[in-house]
């Protein structure tokens, strides 16, 4: 037994034991860990690791990537950063302490190595540690489609730690022994690695030879009565072949598209009635074999067909996968009427008509409730329909009934069983990762792993799962699936450029593949259309949506075709009630497509939002959330909860937003969703004036990815975070740092983000005192705002731009920008936004010397603002200070100014301090004292920050300073 910090390694059972879990590692994965442990804090080149672990075996780089992924999973979230990736170099193992050997006596009785405990200590005792301006509204890009059910995966057995020795008291362990053991641990590792090399890496079993198979039904497709046995044989064989991990089951479309060096074994299946004996039927399998073609045929009456199908399936398996000749399989003990019904249900299933398949399989199970394959396929159909709860019930029945099977087949089935549970995406990904490591020839396992990593919210892990494999050297059909999977992953990451790149490549591959790949071409075309609409405006994608619909319709996928048309329609402004949308929603509800219904309701919600129909927007979101909760779709729930979190912020419901944020983070969150949560949290903290915590919040995901050696965030996500950081840095008086962040902030092709970056740049120029450089960007922004639909994005953009224009002393344009949303916001529930507009108008009223209006507006805004809105309350205090000075209430003004200055220092808002200093500078010559910072301190702060434009000079143009009043009352000298 070895130990590093709180990680234990059981060398006998190849287990990594942490306080959270016990993970049994495959032999080669364990070998990688031993090599890393033997030489910690040293760079291990990828090529060297592969040579040591896979000596004499030809493997791809992806095998090492998979092994590292599995090691990090086994180490757990608290330790996975110990394995650090060095770009284009390899890996470094950076544990927090030395590798130590644990004496046998301590196994099972000590939790951590260290000083000996008193002999009276109980065995196993443990100790336990005790401005609205920022961009917070995320534009919807594209929802990933319903997850395709996996093929057919496995729980890993865990091994208990050693039993404590009970017959005698535990002895104290001397410090000198531990010193020796620390060195001995490394010697032990070296010995183990040497033994592995000396034995020629004979411990793991050699990889099984991959077998590619194509099943094709032939014969009279119009005679359903004669054909059904061949269809059932196809389904029964397909399930078995898919469950064998070394078999790659292909379709006719693959056969036409791919010219491989090792052509697949083609098996032609047929069935019919004997010409000479009307009551006799035959079922036949014909395939090429060494020495020529071979045909297997069985005959009998209709009632015998179930037994004949089962027997022929075993003969075919023996012929195409002879290594599996002795494997156990369940019997097909279903009567003939039920199998006739099943044949129709399977045809719908194979054509991906999941609504019809689910209904047909339900009818089959009414007749044959013990038919395990029908339970399995119904589970997969219901999962794809978004009915996870029912899918989990049927998958449990399938696991119980589809026995006996071999251990490795059971592991494939177990992975499929995990895949239908939406709350176990991480476990599913881990199961497929283990299968991919054990059976690298089955490339679909890696695609499944990546898909479930993505579904679990970890897009970075999904990308990592696809690293290393030479995908361009794979068959064309595999390349196509890889490209589509990458496009979906990048969609989750909101990297629209990458989505477009992979979708375009996938579309070209599908065209090259020809007939049989129309669905994949349609899916790629639909992705392209969504990106074009997102990047260049709704009209840009309409042709693509129409083409995707045509392609789906060409293969009879009418629901998909309708979905493509409606997707294009929902990108456009609301134009009355959509009959096609209503029809699609009705089909989705009737067919049980709950995930499609959720997706449609969310898109309708955002369309209503763009039209300014906020109550309808909220209603649709809540309807979608209710459906997601009813079917236990945790990932749809997360997406909708993030939408509602955004709404909480706009409504000014900060406490509810904080609680919702906590609830979302309690689940599995990663990828770009994590960065949005970081930004929301940073916005909340910044609004409250906690700038250091806000900065830390923005860095959470970026730091975690760097620490874990995972791929960096997409450029757009980094740009968005850089914009938010630039705003925080300005509040902290760090002008040059803000400029540096702004350079990254503008690194985007997204229109909404580029506009936001331009506004951030104008703010930086204004704070630096360069109004001339800021104005062109602000004027262009005004033009953009006037063309935007009446939605929250327009109103928040107007509020922020008006804030900056007022400080540039374009009061008329600023007032117009504030007045329009103030009217539009009435009745929306966005009291915080209304208050922000009133704050801006109060500032403009003060600048114009309209003190009564300024007072009225500040009073109204104070009533609407949430208590946490530090920045808005500070702006109101500044207006109140000027109103007090204008009213001759100098002492009250001084008291307010001193309090505001103290609060600005308390929260570290340097911009607020500089603005107050400008008021102090203006009134100081006319008062005995102004309180707050003295003149030298004020000058020093201005000089150190360089923020010459951070002042309220623009608001004090109409302020009647004390000298005017004094001058008016001083007696004039007599002439």
Q: Look at residues 867, 906, 861, 865 and name the one whose alpha carbon lies nearest to residue 879.
A: 861
Average pLDDT over residues 427-452: 90
pLDDT score at 448: 93
Q: What are 214-243's pLDDT values in tens digits?
A: 899 987 777 777 889 999 999 999 999 999
Q: What percent of the chain has pLDDT over 90?
A: 45
Q: Look at residues 259, 299, 293 and name the one whose alpha carbon lies nearest to residue 276.
A: 299
Does the model's pTM come out above 0.75?
no
Residue that terminates a domain, selected from 566, 588, 619 = 566
Note if the bond before 404 is cis, omega within 30 degrees.
yes
Question: How do strand 15-17 and strand 22-24 relate by DSSP bridges?
Answer: antiparallel
**Residues pairing with 285 in the sheet:** 269, 296
- Crossing angle of the two packed helices 476-492 and 671-687, in degrees rounded to 10: 10
Q: Provide the Cα torsion 145, 150, 155, 156; round to 10°.
A: -100
Residues 218 and 185 in one domain: no
Residue 519 falls within a domain, yes or no? yes
Structure-token match 């209710």, residue found: 626
Average pLDDT over residues 70-90: 80
Burial per residue of 789-798, b for 16 or more beta-carbon CB atoms within 10 angstroms, e otherwise:
eebbbbbbbb
- What's the CA gap between 386 and 636, in Å, rounded? 10
Residues 219 and 321 in one domain: yes
Residue 936 backbone dihedrals phi, psi, to 5 degrees: -60, -40
Average pLDDT over residues 106-131: 33
- What's the CA gap between 132 and 872, in Å, rounded? 9
Instruction: Compute CA distances 956 → 646, 850, 879, 928, whole Å.
Output: 36, 12, 10, 20
Residues 189 and 266 in one domain: no
Q: Which domain CATH number covers 64?
A: 1.10.10.10
Edge-first strand order for the sheet with 43-45 is 43-45, 90-93, 83-86
Average pLDDT over residues 798-808: 96
Residue 223 backbone dihedrals phi, psi, to 5 degrees: -95, 85
Residue 507 falls within a domain, yes or no? yes
Residues 193 and 81 in one domain: yes
Residue 558 falls within a domain, yes or no? yes
Residues 56 and 181 in one domain: yes
Residue 577, classed as helix, strand or coil, is: coil
Residue that terminates a domain, selected from 510, 543, 566 = 566
Residue that terminates a domain, selected from 277, 301, 327 = 327
Residues 254 and 301 in one domain: yes
Residue 76 falls within a domain, yes or no? yes
Q: How confident is the model at residue 918 (pLDDT cuts 50, 70, 90)?
A: very high
For residues 781 and 787, the answer to whether their CB atoms sit within 8 Å is: no
The domain of 218 spans 211-327
**Res 187 pLDDT > 70:** no
Residue 692 falls within a domain, yes or no? yes
- What's the CA gap between 725 and 260, in Å, rounded? 52
Residues 65 and 182 in one domain: yes
Q: Which domain CATH number covers 297?
A: 3.40.50.10070
135/392: higher pLDDT: 392
Q: Helices (H), strands (E): how many in the chain?
A: 41, 13
Structure token pair of residue 619: 């209603």
Average pLDDT over residues 182-191: 36
Instruction: State the DSSP H helix or E strand holding residue 282, giving kind and residue range, or none if neither.
Output: strand 281-289
Residues 54 and 93 in one domain: yes
- What's the CA gap between 942 and 379, in Å, rounded? 67
For residues 449 and 436, the answer to whether their CB atoms sit within 8 Å is: yes
Which region among 171-185, 692-706, 959-973 has the lowest average model confidence (pLDDT)? 171-185
For residues 804 and 774, the answer to whether their CB atoms sit within 8 Å is: yes
Residues 43 and 101 in one domain: yes
Q: How confident is the model at residue 716 (pLDDT cuts 50, 70, 90)?
A: confident
pLDDT score at 93: 87
Residues 254 and 183 in one domain: no
In the chain, what's the furthest Cα-to-Cα distance?
A: 143
pLDDT score at 291: 62
Q: What share of the chain is helix, strand, coil (3-state, %, to 5)?
A: 65, 5, 30
**Angle (nearest 5°) at CA 520 between 151 and 260:** 70
Question: How do strand 15-17 and strand 281-289 relate by DSSP bridges?
Answer: unpaired
Q: Look at residues 701, 695, 703 and name the one whose alpha carbon lies nearest to residue 726.
A: 695
Kindly tell me the sign of the dihedral angle through the C-alpha atoms of 390, 392, 393, 397: positive
- Return mean pLDDT, the chain: 81
Q: What are 671-680's pLDDT values in tens digits?
A: 678 889 999 9
pLDDT score at 956: 94
């Amino acid at each position: 037994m070895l130990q590093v910090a709180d990680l234990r390694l059981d060398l006998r059972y190849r287990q990594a034991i942490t306080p959270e879990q016990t993970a049994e590692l495959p032999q080669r994965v364990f070998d990688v860990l031993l090599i890393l442990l033997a030489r910690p804090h040293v760079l291990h080149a990828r090529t060297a690791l592969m040579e040591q672990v896979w000596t004499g075996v030809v493997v791809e780089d992806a095998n090492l990537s998979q092994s590292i992924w599995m090691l990090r999973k086994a180490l757990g979230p608290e330790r996975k950063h110990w394995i650090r990736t060095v770009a284009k170099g390899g890996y470094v193992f950076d544990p927090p302490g030395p590798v130590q050997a644990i004496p046998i006596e301590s196994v099972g009785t000590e939790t951590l190595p260290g000083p000996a405990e008193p002999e009276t200590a109980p065995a196993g005792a443990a100790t336990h540690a005790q401005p609205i301006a920022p961009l917070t509204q995320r534009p919807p890009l594209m929802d990933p489609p319903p997850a395709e059910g996996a093929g057919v995966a496995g729980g890993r057995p865990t091994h208990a730690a050693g039993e404590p020795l009970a017959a005698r008291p535990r002895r104290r362990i001397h410090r000198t022994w531990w010193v020796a053991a620390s060195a001995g641990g490394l010697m032990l590792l070296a010995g183990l690695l040497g033994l592995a090399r000396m034995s020629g890496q004979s411990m793991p079993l050699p990889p099984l030879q991959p077998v590619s198979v194509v099943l094709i039904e032939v014969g009279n497709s119009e005679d359903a009565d004669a054909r059904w046995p061949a269809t059932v044989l196809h389904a029964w064989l397909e399930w078995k072949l898919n469950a064998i991990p070394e078999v790659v089951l292909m379709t006719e479309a693959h056969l036409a598209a791919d010219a491989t060096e090792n052509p697949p074994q083609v098996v032609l299946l047929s069935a019919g009635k004997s010409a000479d004996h009307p009551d006799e039927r035959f079922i036949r399998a014909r395939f090429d074999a060494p020495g020529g073609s071979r045909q297997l045929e069985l005959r009998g009456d209709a009632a015998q067909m179930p037994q004949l199908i089962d027997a022929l399936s075993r003969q075919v398996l023996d012929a195409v996968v002879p290594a599996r000749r002795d494997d156990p399989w369940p019997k097909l003990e279903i009567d003939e009427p039920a199998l006739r019904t099943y044949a129709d249900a399977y045809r719908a299933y194979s054509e991906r008509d999941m609504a019809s398949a689910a209904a047909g399989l339900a009818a089959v199970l009414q007749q044959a409730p013990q038919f395990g394959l029908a339970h399995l396929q119904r589970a997969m159909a219901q999962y794809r329909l978004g009915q996870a709860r029912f899918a989990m019930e049927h998958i449990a029945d399938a696991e119980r009934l589809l026995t006996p099977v071999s251990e490795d087949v059971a592991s494939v089935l177990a992975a499929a069983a995990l895949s239908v549970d939406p709350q176990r995406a991480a476990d599913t990904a881990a199961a497929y990762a283990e299968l991919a490591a054990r059976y690298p020839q089955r490339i679909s396992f890696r695609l499944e792993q990546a898909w479930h990593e993505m579904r679990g919210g970890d897009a970075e892990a999904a990308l990592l799962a696809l690293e290393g494999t030479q995908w361009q050297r794979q068959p064309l059909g595999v390349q196509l699936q890889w490209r589509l999977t990458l496009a979906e992953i990048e969609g989750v990451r909101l990297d629209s450029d990458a989505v477009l790149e992979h979708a375009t490549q996938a579309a070209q591959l599908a065209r090259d593949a020809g007939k049989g790949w129309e669905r994949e071409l349609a899916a790629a075309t639909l992705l392209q259309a969504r990106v074009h609409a997102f990047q260049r405006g709704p009209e840009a994608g309409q042709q693509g949506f129409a083409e995707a619909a045509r392609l789906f319709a060409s293969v009879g996928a009418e629901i998909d075709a309708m979905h493509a048309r409606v997707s294009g329609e929902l990108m456009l402004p609301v134009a009355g009630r959509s009959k096609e949308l209503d029809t699609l929603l009705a089909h989705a509800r009737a067919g049980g497509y709950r995930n499609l219904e959720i997706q449609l309701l969310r898109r309708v919600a955002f369309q209503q939002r763009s039209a300014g129909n906020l109550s309808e927007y909220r209603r649709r979101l809540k309807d979608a959330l209710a459906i997601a909760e009813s079917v236990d779709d945790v990932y749809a729930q997360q997406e909708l909860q993030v939408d509602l979190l955004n709404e909480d912020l706009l409504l000014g419901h900060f406490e509810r937003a904080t609680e919702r944020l906590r609830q979302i983070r309690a689940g599995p969150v990663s990828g770009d969703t994590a960065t949005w949560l970081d930004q929301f949290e940073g916005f909340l903290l910044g609004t409250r004036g906690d700038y250091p915590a806000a900065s830390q919040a923005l860095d959470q995901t970026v730091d975690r990815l760097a620490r874990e050696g995972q791929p960096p965030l997409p450029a757009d996500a980094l740009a968005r975070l850089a914009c938010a950081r630039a705003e925080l840095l300005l509040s902290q008086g760090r002008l040059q740092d803000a400029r540096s962040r702004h350079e990254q902030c503008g690194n985007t092709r997204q229109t909404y983000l580029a506009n936001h970056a331009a506004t951030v740049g104008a703010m930086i120029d204004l704070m630096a005192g360069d109004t001339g450089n800021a104005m062109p960007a602000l004027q262009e922004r005004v033009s953009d705002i006037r063309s935007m639909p009446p939605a929250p994005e327009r109103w928040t953009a107007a509020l922020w731009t008006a804030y900056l224009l007022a400080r540039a002393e374009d009061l008329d344009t600023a007032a117009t920008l504030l007045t329009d949303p103030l009217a539009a916001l009435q009745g929306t529930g966005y009291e915080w936004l209304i208050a922000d507009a009133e704050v801006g108008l109060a500032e403009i009223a003060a600048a114009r010397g309209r003190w009564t209006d300024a007072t009225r507006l500040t009073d109204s805004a104070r009533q609407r603002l949430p208590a946490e809105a530090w920045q808005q309350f500070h702006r109101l205090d500044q207006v109140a200070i000027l109103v007090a000075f204008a009213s001759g209430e100098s002492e009250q003004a001084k008291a307010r100014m001193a309090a505001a200055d103290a609060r600005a220092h308390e929260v570290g808002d340097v911009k607020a301090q500089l603005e107050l200093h400008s008021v102090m500078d203006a009134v100081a010559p006319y008062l005995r004292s102004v309180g707050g910072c003295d003149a030298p301190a004020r000058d020093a702060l201005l000089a150190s920050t360089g923020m010459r434009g951070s002042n309220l000079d623009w608001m004090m143009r109409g302020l009647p300073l004390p000298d005017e009043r004094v001058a008016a009352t001083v007696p004039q000298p007599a002439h």
